[in-house]
Amino acid sequence: MKEFIDKINEGYDFANKFLHYGMDIRPKVTWVDSQTGQFIAEWLVTSDFIDQNHCIDEGVLGTVTDNTTAMLIGSILCDRGKSVSTSISVQAVAPIKPNTVVEIVCAIASKTSKQPHATATFRDKQIPQKIYGRGAHTKFFKAGLSESQPRL
């Protein structure tokens, strides 16, 4: 399992250069279960990522949702070839204080679909019942697509 987590985190390091306005976001995977299609990543939310409403900026949420769920889908379903995103949606749901450690809980809803769907829940590490944001991402696998995600 440690090797699998290390591979995902290496992919994050590569993908970080494509993140929201070049911000250094770098969530790190701390737990993974490839059988159920789930993982948890930790992320330090600094004031750089908080909007005027004191919530995680939804552009940042979109970028992090895209990258975390794409890493999960790509890692679990890597034998399917290349994919493209067909839908990404996010919602900031509660204010957050700067320097809060957030757990991003990602799960694949359907591993057998031609369009796997994954969710990301952004929750407080210390108080897991406290949710700061939610995201959803659907991908489509098809031969002949150009490479857009780091291969793990």
| pLDDT (0 to 100) of residue 15 | 64
Q: How many helices (H) and strands (E) does the chain have?
A: 2, 6
Q: What is the pLDDT of residue 152?
A: 45
- Pair 2, 10: CB distance under 8 Å: no
What is the tens place of the pLDDT at every residue in 130-144? 999 999 999 887 766
User: pLDDT under 50 in the chain at which residues?
Assistant: 152
Identify the structural domains of the chain with CATH numbers, from first to last.
Answer: 2-141 (3.10.129.10)
Res 21: pLDDT? 62
pLDDT at 22: 66
Q: Which residues pair with 41 in a beta bridge?
A: 29, 104
